[in-house]
Amino acid sequence: MSTRAAVFLIAALPLALAGCGPAPDSGYFPLESGHRWVYDMKTERENNTVEHEQLTLLTLGRETIEGGAAWRRRSETGVDYWLRADASGIYRVASKSDLDADPKPDPAPRYVLKAPLVAGTSWAAPTTAYLLQRRQEFPREIRHSHPPVAMSYTIEALGEKLATPAGRFDDCLRVRGEARMRVFADPVTGWRDMPLSTTEWYCKGVGLARLERREPAQSTFLVGGVLTMELMTWQ
C-alpha cells in the first residue's frame, strides 16, 4: 500500500467542540497548529509480502477556505485536508493534493468522530478498497475500477489502554468501521461482497494512535491484506 493511499484512507476516516474557535489541546483529535505525528505503516499481503513505510502528519492551524474557517492538516507526501468542529463532532470538509490549485470541498461532511462520545454512537462515511488487488489484470488496484462504498462506523469502547512505540496511553476510544464491496472474485465463485474493516484508536491529548485495516480476498484472482499503522513519535 502506498503512503499516498494511506493518507487518503485516514483522511476519509471527533467530539463536541465549540464551532471553529480555539482548538482544545486535550481532545481525542487535536486540531491546533504545531502537532506532528510519525507512523509506521506495515502492510502484510496474502501473498506473504510485507512492506514498511513511514507516514508523517502535521497540523498547520486554522485557515479560511470556502464556507468559512477550518483546521488544516498536511501529510509530508503532499496531501492536505481541512476539518471543522461543532456540537455534532469533528468532520472533514475539503482536501487538496499537490496537483490541485485549491482545496476541493467534500460533497458532504466526512466525520472522523461523531458526538456524543459514548459507546454505540454511529455514522457513515465513504471508503474504497485500499489493499485489494488483482493478481494479474490491470489496473491492479480495485479502487481504480470500483466506486466508493459506505462504511458504517461505531464507537465500540471508551477508556481503553493502548501500548504503542510512542508510549502507553490510558484513555483511548476504539472505533470500528465495516463495509462491503461487490467484486468479481474468480470464475468459480463469481461476484462476492468483499468485507472491508477498520479499527481505530484515538487517545486523549494525542489523536490517532493505531489503525488496523483488513481487506481479506481469499481468492485465486485477488490478493488482500492487512495494514497496521502505529504511532512512533508525536508532539
What is the residue range of 185's domain? 3-234
C-alpha to C-alpha distance for 128 and 137, rounded to whole angstroms: 19
- What's residue 1's pLDDT? 55
Q: Would strands 122-127 and 167-186 be described as parallel, antiparallel, or unpaired? A: unpaired
Count H helices, E strands: the chain?
1, 14
| Cell numbers found for residue 37 | 505525528
| Cell numbers found for residue 36 | 506532528
The CATH number that applies at residue 81 is: 2.40.360
Question: What is the total count of domains within the chain?
Answer: 1
Nearest CA to 196 out of 221, 216, 222 is that of 216
SS3 at position 159:
strand
Q: Is the pTM of this model over 0.85?
A: yes
**Inter-residue contact 231 to 208 (CB < 8 Å):** yes
- What's residue 2's pLDDT? 56
**What string of pLDDT tens digits covers the 235 residues of the chain?**
554 455 445 555 433 233 344 443 349 999 999 999 999 999 999 989 999 999 999 999 999 998 899 999 999 989 999 999 999 999 999 999 999 999 999 999 999 999 999 999 999 999 999 999 888 877 888 888 889 999 999 999 999 999 999 999 999 999 999 999 999 888 888 999 999 999 999 999 999 999 999 999 988 889 999 999 999 999 9
